[in-house]
Amino acid sequence: MSGSRLLLPRRVTARQENYTRGADGVMNADEVAYLREAMPTMSVAGKFNAARKLRAHELAVWRASYSAAREPWQADRRPSPRGFLAPYGGYMKKPMPIPEIRGTTNRVCGLYPFPRSTEFISPGWPIGIQDETGAPLFYDAMAWFEAEMLSAPVGVVLGPNGFGKSTLGRQFVLGGLASGRHQIIPADIKPDYRRLCELLNDNHEGRQDGQVIEVGPGHGVLNPLDPTAYAWALDRLPDGHPAAGGLIAELHQTQLFNIEALVSLRRRAPLEDFESTAISSALGELYAGDRFSTARPPIISDLISQLEQPTEDMRYAVAAATAADFAHTTHRLLQSLKSLTVGMFGESFNGQTTTRLNLEAAMVDIDLSIINVHSGRDLRAAIIALTGMEAQAAVSARMTLADNGFMRRTVTDIHMDELSQLLDVGGSSQIKSLDRITRTQRTDGMTLKTYTHTVTDFTKVSGDITEQGKATGFISRSKITFTGPINGYEIDAQAGLIDYTDRERARLLSWTSAPPPAQTGHRTMPHPGKGRFIAKWGDDPDRPGLAFRTWISPLERALGIHDTNTGMRTD
């Protein structure tokens, strides 16, 4: 400073001796005005030092205003070059490679100042590399929704087996976890998400941030009359709290819906209206005394016993004058209910829930891999229907607690993988299950992603055109679609639901066929369609989508969260 003072005019030096900076680095307003006024008359070194001080002042002002706008958890933290490293912070945990260009020395030098890129820039988590520009593609359902790029955070991923649907899904899960949202995988068939969920428990603080729930014969029971999320929330509300009544009503409604879904799936036909009434009245009687509570809910056998011993109110509900009339009216219903108490269904549903859902876990993975893919087809579909409702119940219960100040308000991401296994068994109950989940996601505070193979999966639910329309209507309500390699037949089947330009159609078809081995020259060369998707969003059918390839970071590869081919290895 002494050397610079000799170069400054005497009046500036006098001012500099009195120059003081506040604790936050902000200069006095008079000093700022004087330096800006005197800069034209200063020497080169004087101008340099004055500009440096003004720049430091402007940076201090920005920091002060920025700190005032920060969240409470950011108060004692300063951002690193990659953001805030803190819970719910914006720390960039997955930096992607910078796009590279190649050119001659003369031409690359001539690009300066560099022109603005034509790449598509969006908020969110880095999920892939854009085909057209080689730039990163950022996506997050809530980030796009808050930026009004999507009118609802609902999407569907379509593509054949082995082309990376689940890998893309795990990218969505990673982005949701980094954003501080809860993740629920209601039906992990293979399992594809278990490894990632277990890694959440491998931390230095000893927290159990990931919960894995196994369901299947000999491994775990899922009681359809025990919506554990509502019970969990009721235990945390004070006695007599006004919100308890609403939770109890939702609990009973979910119990009824679960039983209806199981029975209709076994029958391949919906229940009669009087059968639903009989179940509802029987459930009311079960809770009338002190036999059952949220801590010890009834099981299917208890419901059957109550139906076999009807009360006067139960007889009135189905217009039965006598107990014999009631037994005759509900005989078919009892047959269906008893089919749920034997065999694989009995081992999976007729008992108390083995592991209750933890609403505080960052990620919950319900592992169904124990169920045989062929012999347990109906059982898998039944569990997918119930766990989907359980996930929605978790969101509703958490929102109720948050609304009343007993829990932090957050958003939950639900990922319905292998949806085709639910739709393949058919029945209106499956349409009803999916429809109930997709219509209230914004008010319930959740995002939804579904994963299946083709659009024709949605038409398998019923031979009735009206029922098929209800099922495929879900694709219309999905505000963003990710389509992997599909053939011409599937492209034509999607017409009216997802429309592609001629260029997109040609791109999708090119992804479906691999070159012959003689052209690859290397046995590990990836299939051209591996991890390739076209993202389309918005309501304009003529708007072109965005083609990209899913990108996996070296850390993800090292952790093995995307390695789903362990069963194909040999010794």
**pLDDT tens, 108-157?**
666 655 555 556 778 888 899 988 888 888 999 998 998 888 888 989 99
Helix, strand, coil abundance in the chain, percent, nearest 5: 45, 10, 40
pLDDT for 523 equals: 54
Q: What is the dihedral of CA 113, 116, 121, 123, to 10 degrees?
A: 40
pLDDT-derived band at 172, boundaries 50, 70, 90: very high
420-440 b/e (C-beta count within 10 Å ≥ 16 → b)? bbbbbbbbbbbbbbbeebbee
Across 376-391, average pLDDT: 83
- Of 36-45, 77-86, 331-340, 379-388, the poorest mean pLDDT is in 77-86
Nearest Cα residue to 433 out of 461, 405, 410 = 461
Query: CA 207 → CA 198, 214, 551, 560, 565, distances in Å?
Result: 12, 20, 29, 21, 29
| pLDDT tens, position by position, 344-363 | 899 899 999 988 888 888 89
CA 41 vs CA 3, 6, 105: distances in Å: 18, 15, 42
| β-sheet bridge partners, residue 194 | none
More confident residue, 337 or 490: 337
Q: Packing angle between helix 29-38 and helix 44-69, nearest 10 degrees?
A: 150
C-alpha to C-alpha distance for 156 and 168, rounded to whole angstroms: 11
Q: Output 205 or 273, whichever has higher pLDDT.
A: 273
Check if the beta carbon of residue 155 is closer than 8 Å to that of residue 478.
yes
Convert the pLDDT of each residue in 440-496 to its tens digit.
554 567 888 988 888 877 776 666 676 677 777 778 778 899 999 988 888 888 888
Alpha carbon distance 393, 381 (integer Å):
18
Whether the predicted pLDDT of 510 surpasses 50: yes
Residues in the chain: 571
- Which has more pLDDT, 142 or 295? 142
pLDDT of 525 reads 64
Instruction: Indicate the angle between helix axes 242-267 and 273-286, nearest 10 degrees.
Output: 130
Highest mean pLDDT among 2-6, 330-334, 415-419: 330-334
What was the pLDDT predicted at 494? 84
Beta bridge partners of 535: 482, 546
* Span of 82-91, 350-359, 404-413, 525-534 with lowest mean pLDDT: 82-91
Residue 126, classed as helix, strand or coil, is strand
Determine the Cα–Cα distance for residues 539 and 542; give it in Å rounded to an integer. 9
The per-residue DSSP string of 50-99 comes to: HHHHHHHHHHHHHHHHHHHHS-GGGTT---BTTB--STT-----SPPPPP
pLDDT score recorded for residue 134: 83
Q: What mean pLDDT comes out for the span 498-518?
A: 81
- d(C-alpha 282, C-alpha 307), whole Å: 6
Whether the Cβ atoms of residue 364 and residue 184 lie closer than 8 Å to each other:
yes
CATH fold label, 151-220+362-514+525-565: Rossmann fold (3.40.50)
Contact criterion met (CB below 8 Å) for 408 and 177: no
Question: What's the whole-model pTM score?
Answer: 0.75
Mean pLDDT of the chain: 80
18 has pLDDT over 70: no
- The answer to whether residue 335 scores a pLDDT higher than 90 is yes
Alpha helix segments (H runs only) across 268-373: 273-286, 300-308, 312-317, 323-329, 331-338, 343-349
Max alpha carbon distance in the chain (Å)?
Answer: 112
